[in-house]
Copies of this chain bind each other. A is one copy, B any other.
């Protein structure tokens, strides 16, 4: 004996499967390990009789196949890697949720990492995910470090970028255009008759999405024939208080401001609450527009005009593209623009 119980410690021995291996199941079912493998991964490829024997043994031992061994052997994994700038943000949460659903329906698992908006961290996390041999990647970011681009260029797993429509995608992209969206909303405000439109942006550093939005704002002003006043643009970290603060500063330095477009929904809501507090009529004193259709914006008083970005669609379609590619679809570059929609509400 000792034949099996060799020297190595069985540290993780009874990992749920009771430490049982496929060989044990095979022995007890009186079939070969290969038959067990087949019975579990493709039941239709074995005879009814074999299947029953295997199933019985599996149930008896509560056997759970070791996917680590399976992945190593088959050189295929069933884990998708996902890197988002922040897990805490509900925008990403909606996307993650959709990806998770599609993934699960296709037998895939999700390994989620958050980069905290730091490109170096994104690079390190993707490396780690590749070391885990994920079968696909979704990155909510399109402005990568040089080394990450090189790393991804050498990979042959499918990669999906989202969050923006980049000029030079790595592989597949599913997103909307931050530029177009911000331009459209600014234009919308102009057409509603607002003339002094402020703009509050999220941090611009290492964030092409923020920069694109600001570019869109300026482009729209130009199209509207309105002067671009840099004093009407403020950069603020995301947060209710920061949004409130930004609006107050804009109103105080530019009393003629008649509308303000916030490039982040939390900023907008913070500003709205501040208006309630100060008794500033919205949109009477100042109109407020937001970015991203948080559920919340539909319920505040007044309700807030915003851009609806189909976050869930982005997640779903990203996952579907991944699944298709894993199923053998040819690796052609795909670029899906899911678009956006202006939702006109009471605040403008």
A residues contacting B by CB (< 8 A) are: 8-18, 62, 64-69, 71-72, 75-77, 79, 86-90, 93-94, 96-97, 100, 104, 109-114, 125, 127-133, 135, 150-152, 154-157, 239-241, 244, 269-270, 273, 276-277, 295-296, 298-301
Given A88-B94, A131-B66, A301-B273: A75 and B12 interface contact (C-beta under 8 Å) = yes
Chain multiplicity (copies): 2
Chain B residues within an 8 Å CB radius of A76: 11-12
Q: Which 10 A-B pairs have the closest CB atoms?
A: A16-B130, A240-B299, A276-B301, A12-B75, A16-B155, A64-B131, A88-B97, A87-B97, A67-B131, A68-B72
Given contacts A62-B154, A97-B114, A244-B299, 10 further A-B contacts (CB under 8 A): A10-B75, A12-B135, A66-B72, A68-B133, A69-B72, A72-B72, A79-B111, A88-B90, A109-B132, A241-B299
Chain B residues within an 8 Å CB radius of A8: 75
Chain B residues within an 8 Å CB radius of A87: 93, 96-97, 100
Contact of A67 among B89, B114, B132 (CB under 8 A): B132
Q: Can you list 6 A-B pairs with a CB-CB distance of less than 8 A?
A: A12-B135, A16-B154, A66-B133, A93-B93, A269-B296, A273-B299
Q: How far is the CA of A65 from the CA of B215 in the complex (A)?
A: 42
Q: How far is the CA of A296 from the CA of B270 in the complex (A)?
A: 9
Please give the distance in Å from A240's CB to the nearest CB on chain B: 4
Please give the distance in Å from A62's CB to the nearest CB on chain B: 6
Q: How far is the CA of A51 from the CA of B36 in the complex (A)?
A: 43
Which residue on B lies nearest to A135, using beta carbons? B12
Chain B residues within an 8 Å CB radius of A111: 79, 109-112
Q: How far is the CA of A145 from the CA of B254 in the complex (A)?
A: 61
